[in-house]
Chain A
């Protein structure tokens, strides 16, 4: 099968600071890739390059057939291509980023209505299905500020899913949560993986990784230092630095 995400020799500079130093990674449809590594190793940057919240400064990214080389200038045509990619790639952030002026269901249907011009009724019906799926059907008309962190993150996941994406990007989705709320979010993500969603997840939840990931990628100073199946990597990392990091988080 053709990979649905292709990252080739990806580089990212912030001014003089080079954060990604040639990252290559193919993701097959239905795979769940867990990315882990030290703070500052470039995990978020890698994820944010996949949907072009950051513009790569070198290399190439392909998402579901839309191929984009790094470019110096972001012109109109490129912006349109970026939007095509973003519509295929849902993203979930560490701190939820819900729209506080909209109710939960309005948060979900905003993008389908505005971006895809779906009718309100149609979007709402799908939105309510998704809320049911993440266990928040009764919160549809609540405002985000009235939700717990775990509920907020589940709404954020449903909001991304409401665009019917082909891949989902998760950047430390449980890091901002109180420990007792982590499980409910991981549960939703686990279900999503079971349904065959392609996922790239930055997380240090090794239990989740072991159970759900098809592959784990250890990022170190902007490079993929090691990758492999969770069982192999967690118990038998080849590189000393990977081992040390795993010891620290396990």
Chain B
């Protein structure tokens, strides 16, 4: 074993010596190319089924719009809930704070997959109880996309409550007093003074949450197969006995989507923080 270690060490020395004139970016590029070649080899080894991809790829990819729609809907709902959750947790009212604390604690304390299945399967059961008013049947029975938005929105809203709370608390107490001293009500102060400043703090982490949600949205595939991206991949993969091809395709798409949104999220974050630096650095 020691001999192998020594050999490896010598190889490493030689590689390092030989490439010392090479810029780091080029080295990095070579590593990436190596990984790509390895992956392609793996695909050949698995005898990646191109014909299957041609036939079923479009169906699987057809889940992308719904995955995106679910995530945009989910993050919108999550932001609304997080806003109320944060205001509730910071509120002087026992009712508001109690409800907000329960919401955050309960949702964070239960698995997302349970919440999804609960909303999709358990609520309809409630609607059909003999003692339930019939209108529940129109309220508690959701199309899967709607159930998905609800579940992801409620779940992420609870986590994002802390993000929103931090954003709101980042606004100095002196400003709030100044607003009050000028005759502004609590609501006016929140709307006109606190939230516009909190947004700066809130937006970048919210972008991260959206990216995480993109991946978590795959859990919807467990409740309803054949609808969004992962559900379709899972469905066809198992049905056609090509799980490797189907899941690899889905994984690639998630990776591509998260990479694209990460790119925009970074840019947004930089722009916001640059604005901050410029403004803060300009004083005196």
Contacts and interface: CB of A to CB of B under 8 A. Distances in A.
Given A93-B178, A111-B183, 17 more contacts: A53-B181, A83-B183, A83-B185, A86-B182, A87-B183, A93-B177, A97-B175, A97-B177, A97-B178, A99-B179, A100-B279, A110-B192, A111-B182, A115-B182, A115-B183, A163-B182, A163-B183
A143 B279 contact: yes
Contact of A146 (B178, B193, B283): B283
A163 B178 CA distance: 13
A179 to B, nearest CB: 15
Interface in B168-209: 172, 174-175, 177-185, 188, 192-193, 196-197
Nearest to A52: B180
Interface of B: 172, 174-175, 177-185, 188, 192-193, 196-197, 279-280, 282-284
Contacts of B184: 111, 114-115
Given A87-B183, A100-B197, A145-B279, A115 B174 contact: no
Contacts of A79: 185
A146 B282 contact: yes
Contact of B181 (A91, A101, A149): A91
Contacts of A97: 172, 174-175, 177-178
A97 B175 CA distance: 5
A187 to B, nearest CB: 20
Interface residues of A, number: 31
A174 interface: no
Interface string A29-58: 000000000000000000000010100000
Contacts of B172: 97
Contacts of A98: 175, 178
A100 B181 CA distance: 17
Nearest to B281: A145
Interface string A119-151: 000000000000000000000000101111100
A176 to B, nearest CB: 11
Contacts, number: 68
Contacts of A160: 181-182
Interface of A: 51, 53, 79, 83, 86-87, 89-91, 93, 95, 97-101, 110-111, 114-116, 143, 145-149, 156, 159-160, 163
A217 B178 CA distance: 25
Contacts of A91: 178, 181
B177 A53 contact: yes
Contacts of B175: 97-100
A95 B174 contact: yes
A105 B40 CA distance: 62
Contacts of A111: 179, 182-184
B39 to A, nearest CB: 48
A116 B183 CA distance: 9
B197 to A, nearest CB: 5
Contacts of B177: 53, 93, 97
A163 B182 CA distance: 7
17 contacts: A83-B183, A86-B182, A90-B181, A90-B182, A93-B174, A93-B178, A97-B172, A99-B175, A99-B193, A101-B197, A110-B192, A111-B179, A111-B182, A114-B188, A114-B192, A148-B284, A163-B183
Interface centre among B181, B197, B279 (most CB of A within 10 A): B181
Contacts of B174: 93, 95, 97
Nearest to B197: A101
B183 A86 contact: yes
Nearest to A178: B284
Interface centre among B175, B182, B185, B188 (most CB of A within 10 A): B182
A168 to B, nearest CB: 11
A93 B174 CA distance: 8
Contacts of A100: 175, 197, 279
A40 to B, nearest CB: 19
Contacts of A114: 184, 188, 192
B109 to A, nearest CB: 34
A100 B278 CA distance: 13
